[in-house]
Amino acid sequence: MISLFFLLYQIIMIQFIMIKILKIELFYFAAILLLLALVQHPDLLSDPMNRLDLIIQKKNFLHPFLWSFGVYIIVFIFRLLVKGLIVLKKRLLK
C-alpha cells in the first residue's frame, strides 16, 4: 500500500517537473520567434498591421514558425552539447 502511494507521488512530481521544462522550452521558442521576426522584419515595430496584411495576402502563416523551429533545434543541440561537456568535465575531475 505504501509503495502505491509512493509510486503515485513520483508520477505527480515527474509531471510537475515536465510542465516546468515545457514552459522553459516554450519561452525559448517564443524568444527566438520574436527575435527573428524583429531582425528579419524591422517594419514590425513601425507598421505591424501592414506586415500582418502581407502575411494574410501571401498566406505565409507557417514560415515564421518553420524558421524559428530550425533555429530552436540548432540552439537546442548547442545547449545539449554544452551540458554534455560540463557533465563530462565534472566526471573527469572526480
- Tens of pLDDT, residue by residue over 42-81, are 888 888 888 888 888 988 888 889 999 999 999 999 999 9
Alpha-carbon separation of residue 21 from 18, 29, 35, 68, 72 (angstroms): 5, 12, 21, 19, 15
Contacts of 72 (CB under 8 A, 6+ apart): 28, 29, 32
Tell me the three state secondary structure of residue 1: coil
Name the 3-class secondary structure at 42.
coil
Domain residue ranges of the chain, discontinuous segments joined by +: 2-93
**Tens-digit pLDDT profile for residues 4-36:** 887 888 888 888 889 999 999 999 999 999 999
pTM of the complete model: 0.78
Cβ(37)–Cβ(44) under 8 Å? yes
Q: Which amino acid appears at position 71 of this protein?
A: V
